[in-house]
Chains A and B, each alone.
Chain A
Amino acid sequence: MKKNSGFDSTIEKLARGTASKTGRRSFIGKVGGFLAGTALLPLLPVDRRGRLNQAHAASVNSMTREGWKPQDKDPKSCDYWRHCAIDGNVCDCCGGTLTSCPPGTTVASASWVASCYNPGDGMNYLIAYRDCCGKQTCGRCGCVNTEGELPVYRPELNNDIVWCFGAEDDNMTYHCTISPVVGKAT
């Protein structure tokens, strides 16, 4: 599988280089600039991990010790390729879709980004995980996937934070996560 594409390496180099020289906001800005043409600003950290257990409790095909083995048929399953670094509940199982939040929620205006491999076409895609907020945790289709996921001191690549930043009404309350594509990573 093409898990470490040139684009991924570029992202990582950019992240490392700028991270070592700049503050977080400046760093975010640079990454956002790199992704010009997308509506992906600002690139801030996302949450998730703690949902881990709900992830465990209710998950279908969440990541195991054997590692990430994506499929491209069932978006509600944790091993769907877009979910390679999701930690939380798939909104598709909670009244939303892969790209829309369930009714009555609010959506974050910032995303955590990961590069996921699509086995259907053999390409890597940049995924912007966005949290839907303002209601209790959904509880269905909980997934804990950590492909390329980094520690909290690298927040833009960490999936443990409640990333409802920018959601209406200051709703820093996690409900579920959508996985829209930003674009091809290769």
Chain B
Amino acid sequence: MKRSNSQTKTGRPSVMRRFAGHLAAAAVLTAAQPALAEMPATLDGLATTPLHDKVTIDTAPPSDSKRVYVVDPGHFNMTSVIFPVDGKNNKLLGMVDATKLPNAMITSDGKRMVVANTMYSRVARGKRDDYVEVLDMETLNPVADIDIPEGRFLIQVLDKMASLSTDDKHMFFYQFAPTPGVGMVDLQKNSFVKMLDVPDCYYVFPAPKQNFYMHCRDGSMLQVTYDDKGNTKQKTHKPIRGEKDFMMNNPYYSTSNNRLVWPNYEGRVFQAKLTASGAEYMKPIEIFSDKEKAENWRPGGWQPVAYHKDRNEIYLLADQRAKWTHKTPSRFVVVADATTGKRLRKIEMKHDIDAIAVSQDKEPHLYALDTIAKTMHTFDAKTGKHVASLDELGKAPIMLIVADK
């Protein structure tokens, strides 16, 4: 319609087409060659002298089963850092920038990272802007930027306070104020879908066939079934824990096999299988013997539990500690059979550890993060032997993310 009008007015359609073609070519050129940082006019030729060496920008290798990500929210700072680490070679691969208390998630193929962010226009004040960034994990460059409502729950980083769906098609983030809700993002259309109303429940544990579960104040598990438009059906399952079971804040949950492993403050581990057909609870396991309990063995740390799926082993960060010290770090990891609760081994790490994670391969690594020392230690998960350490990891690294497969 516009083109027709232009032809009538100018009477020179071919010229206009040519002009439009030039414009399009210029636009393509601009897109292909992003604007460069301004060069100071006062520089002499020495600064831009051609180099003998070839300078390049690296890409990270494809993710493997020993890939681990270190999340550093830097003392609740306005900016955070996420470090991708090649766990096999104990090598830092680069850095991902994030904002205040980000939620970072890895797609099931390990090729993408999805980060939910919150920024302010004037550092710590001004206009709030929440958004989701999708990054390629080889170039570490953003490939999508999705605007979301400014309601993301700002809390110390927790692994499942935001989650990818089991098919990686959607991302869900929790909203605390003004009312409980879950934000739904379509990662195929790169668009926000809607806020889902939920009751007084927390976390997002994804399950197959467009389901996720939440944990509610009274201990029950809420099953939410959703369609692509964000319409939901909700069903409440019986409490998984007792009223006096105070659960550690960072449970283990596998998106690939839907296993929930969740210790309370005293070392009693509750487990569940969360599927489209319902929530199946397993018999709780006591990690500590009566003798150990008498000696004040308890879990402690920020990310205190890991699980190896094929080996069916629970790893729990623990130490001898007074009651109500559930966030102070621990020096030991106790390993137990996830079905029987039988103690398999105890690993002494000889460092104060705040977070652990276990790779899912046949020769698994136990990753252990010392927040104060800003150092991640790697152990052979089967023998407990120290393998490597990686230091100078930001300001306050506090959480680990490993490949789920």
Contacts and interface: CB of A to CB of B under 8 A. Distances in A.
Nearest to A19: B217
Interface stretch (A53-61, A73-81, A91-99, A178-186): A53-61
Interface string B106-141: 000000000000101001111010000000000000
For A24, A52, A64, A87, the residue with the greatest tally of chain B CB atoms inside 10 Å of its CB is: A52
A116 to B, nearest CB: 12
Given A65-B300, A170-B128, A162 B324 contact: no
Given A52-B398, A53-B371, A139-B75, A67 B320 contact: no
Contact of A68 (B202, B246, B324, B327): B324
Interface string B276-313: 00000000000000000000000010100000000000
Interface string B147-178: 00000011111100000000000000000110
A175 B124 contact: yes
Contacts of B323: 67
Secondary structure of the B contact surface, majority rule: loop
A144 B372 contact: no
Interface residues of B, number: 55
Interface string A1-31: 0000000000000001001100110000000
Given A65-B325, A160-B156, A154 B176 contact: no
Interface in B243-260: 243, 246-249
A128 to B, nearest CB: 18
Contact of B155 (A137, A160, A169, A171): A160
Contacts of B158: 152
Interface string A143-154: 010111111111
Nearest to A88: B76
B200 interface: yes
Contacts of B156: 47-52, 160
Given A24-B180, A51-B75, A146-B326, A152 B243 contact: no
A171 B217 contact: no
B100 interface: yes
Interface of B: 73, 75-78, 100-101, 118, 120, 123-126, 128, 153-158, 176-177, 180, 199-202, 215-218, 243, 246-249, 300, 302, 319-328, 354, 371-372, 395-398
Given A49-B249, A153-B216, 8 more contacts: A47-B155, A49-B155, A53-B371, A56-B396, A66-B325, A146-B325, A171-B124, A173-B125
| A-B pairs with lowest CB-CB distance, top 4 | A50-B156, A67-B322, A53-B396, A54-B75
